[in-house]
Amino acid sequence: MKRKIVIATMNDHKASEIRSLIGDRYDVMTQSSFSIPSVHETGKTFEENALIKAGEVSQKTGLLTLADDSGLEVDLLQGNPGVYSARYAGPNATDAENNKKLLAELEEFKDEKISARFQSVIVLIDPVDNSKNIFHGSWEGRITLKPRGKNGFGYDPLFYIEDLESTAGELNQAEKNKLSHRAIAMRKVTDYLKKKSLDTE
């Protein structure tokens, strides 16, 4: 029987991405399966927010819980939108509204190379042994002021990867799952889970 793992998120896109990265070793659920409402992200860092989300959902379910907090850091904006990436244009902002705000703020830098990165921090809490582990992933690129691609979500159409000469929004799921910040962090998670599973056999 597969062990259950709960993804602490209300974001269907993120849940789908994480589910595909975990593979079929676990019975993957989300907090909505337990009717747990959205957790307030009051942290000032990705790590703090991931800890808050994982802690609350793990406490309410008693199950192995994974929480990701991630976002876009733009150097010319002193690291913004950062932890506010999902709500940059307001508490209930859509991806389109967030992208529009980012483009407006970068208009004055249109002749410059706008370096940026996606950051992901994943927290894994296991109530069985009270362990709490933190994993990091980073994806370097730059911002293009002309959105390209309809894949992915969030700022993907604006995030340009030099080596590929394409935006994250032009990558398919399989391509993104090899390169992204979340994929890098999730590889560390799955390596840890495999090792832990072997240690307990």
Residue 2 has pLDDT above 90, yes or no: no
For the CA atoms of 24, 125, 84, 147, the dihedral, rounded to the nearest 10 degrees, stands at -20
Could you give the 3-state DSSP secondary structure of residue 69? strand
Q: Annotated catalytic sites, by residue?
A: 69
Whole-angstrom Cα distance, residue 6 to residue 196?
17
By DSSP bridging, strand 3-7 and strand 26-30 are parallel
The pTM (predicted TM-score) of the whole model is 0.92
Q: What tens digit of pLDDT does each residue of 56-83 get?
A: 999 999 999 999 999 999 999 999 999 9
User: What fold does the segment set 3-200 form as a domain?
Assistant: Maf protein (3.90.950)
Band of the pLDDT at 137, cuts 50, 70, 90? very high
Mean pLDDT of 109-124: 96
Residue 199 has pLDDT above 80, yes or no: no
